[in-house]
A and B are shown apart, each in its own frame.
Chain A
Amino acid sequence: MILTGKEILKCVNNGTIVISPFDQKNLQANSYDFHIDNILKVYKHDVLDAQNVNDTEEIIIPENGILLDPNQIYLGKTQEVIGSNNYVPIIKGRSSTGRLGIFVNITADLIDLGSIKQCTLMLNSVLPVKIYPNMPIGQVTFWSVEGEI
C-alpha cells in the first residue's frame, strides 16, 4: 500500500520515516516533494565502463542555474535525507519536471529499506533545460512491506 500524505506526516512525526529537513508545505496527497542539492557529478570520459570505477568531476550548480546537456548524465542528490526502516521509498519526478523532459532517475527508482541518506538522482534531459540549486525536482512515495525486515 502507498502512504497518504497524512500518513507520511504521522510517520515523520513518530520517527518511522526520515525526511530532513521536512516542511509540511511539500506534502502532497500521496507523496512528498523533495529538492535537488547544489552538487552534480558528471563522468569525465565518453565511454563508460560497467565493470570499473568511472572518474567523475564535480560541478556546483550556480545560483543562476545550469543548462543540462541532453547528451550528458548528471548525478545529483536530494537536499533532504530520506529513508525508513519500515517503509520502502520510491523516487519519482514531478509532473513539472517530466513535462520539461527531465529524467530524474534512470531505471533505479527504488530505495532500500533502512537506507537513510540523501538519495542519488540520475538526471538526463531530452532538451537543453535549465535547473537551479534547491529547486523542487522530484517526489518520494512510501510503500508498506510484507515479510520480515
Chain B
Amino acid sequence: MADTLLLVEDTGDIDRTPTTKEFIIPPDGFILEPNKLYLGVTQEIMGSEYYVTSLGGRNRIGRLGMFVQICADLGQLGKSHRWTLEINVIKKLKVYPFMQIGKVTFWMPKGEIDHSDTEFYATKDIPYPSTLFEQIHK
C-alpha cells in the first residue's frame, strides 16, 4: 500500500462527484476508523496481457478486520496499473505507509482476448473516486 489515502467524505449523487480528502500516512502510522471509507493505492504497478489479475487482502490483514477490496477484486485483461484499494475496517486499525497489505493472483483466460477496450480506472495510478453516477444516464 502506497502512502496516499483518500477519505471519502460524501459519496456524491448524479448531480455531484464524490467529495474526498487526500492525506499522507505518516511513517509512524495512521489509525483507520470503522464506518469510514478510504481509498488507497498499491505501490506496485500490476497486470498482465495474458492472465486475469485478481487482488485480495492478506490473511494477516483479514484477521485484523480490514477490507482491502469491498466488492471489486477483479482486474481487466491487458491492463497494468496501480490498483485502487477500497478500504473499510471493522475495528480501529493502525496502518503504515508501504506495509504489505494484499496479494495478487493471476488466472488463466479461456477464449479470444480483446485488448481494444480500455477501462477508465485501469488508466489511473492514483486512488481514484467512483464515477458511477456519471455512468448512469449514458
- Tell yes or no: A30 within 8 A of B by CB: yes
The interface bits of chain B over 97-116 (1 if a CB of A lies within 8 angstroms of the residue's CB, else 0) are: 00000000001111111110
User: How many residues on chain A are close to B (CB under 8 Å)?
Assistant: 41
Contacting residue for A127 out of B37, B72, B113, CB 8 A = B37
Report, as a range, how many residues of chain B touch the other chain: 35 or more
> Contact at A129–B78, with CB atoms within 8 Å?
no
Q: Kindly state the separation between the CA atoms of A31 and B119 in the bound complex, as whole angstroms.
A: 12
- B residues less than 8 Å from A104 (CB atoms): 71
Q: In the docked arrangement, what's the CA distance between A21 and B113, Å?
A: 24
A65-97 residues with Cβ-Cβ distance < 8 A to B are 65, 70, 92-97
Q: A5: CB under 8 A from chain B?
A: yes
Residue A101 CB within 8 A of the other chain: yes
Q: Which of A4, A7, A8, A92 contacts B74 (CB 8 A)?
A: A92
A-B pairs with beta carbons under 8 A, tally:
142
Bound-complex Cα distance A76 to B118 (A): 29
Say whether A102 faces chain B, with CB atoms less than 8 Å apart.
Answer: yes
Report the separation of the CA atoms of residues A136 and B13 in the bound assembly, to the nearest whole angstrom: 14
Interface hub of A8, A102, A136 (most chain B Cβ within 10 A): A102
Q: How far is B132's CA from A102's CA once the two chains are assembled, in angstroms?
A: 11
Q: Is A1 an interface residue (CB 8 A)?
A: yes
> 6 tightest A-B contacts by CB?
A7-B111, A93-B71, A99-B130, A96-B132, A98-B72, A4-B111
A-side residues, CB < 8 A to B, are 1-8, 10, 28-31, 65, 70, 92-105, 126-130, 132, 135-136, 138-139, 141, 144
Q: List 19 A-B contacts (CB under 8 A).
A: A2-B107, A2-B108, A4-B111, A28-B117, A29-B79, A94-B71, A95-B72, A96-B132, A97-B71, A98-B86, A98-B130, A100-B11, A100-B132, A101-B37, A101-B88, A103-B71, A127-B36, A128-B11, A130-B11
